Copies of this chain bind each other. A is one copy, B any other.
Amino acid sequence: MTSDLNTQHRAALQSFRESIDNIDAALVFMLAERFKITQAVGRYKSEHKLPPADPGREQEQIDRLKALAREANLDPEFSAKFLQFVISEVIRHHERIREGQED
């Protein structure tokens, strides 16, 4: 491998990484916005004594995200796992809100 090739590889990888870093920043800010909303939902449900979970809702979300994933050529099972990963964090937030209000 010549030094020129190394420079070329470094430049190519650097360009890929910049795109990944841009997307990751977008993902973090989108997730922050999503949690703002789910925290507002948690507060709303708690204030109005509404049940914390809606059994049919999660399955609807999973089915919808899988369909969107297929459109985007993303593994549908990954999109389902991703939603469950995010929802488990939402549940942790809601539990924290509930604990805070019981103090």
Contact = CB atoms under 8 A, between A and B. Distances in A.
A65 to B, nearest CB: 6
Per DSSP, chain A at the interface is helix
A93 to B, nearest CB: 9
Q: How many copies does the complex hold?
A: 2
Interface residues on chain A, size class: 35 or more
Contacts of A13: 41, 44-45, 50
Given A17-B57, A37-B19, A40-B16, A28 B65 contact: yes
Interface of A: 5, 9, 12-13, 16-17, 19-21, 23-38, 40-41, 44-45, 48, 50, 57, 61, 64-65, 68-69, 72-75, 78-79, 82-83, 85, 89
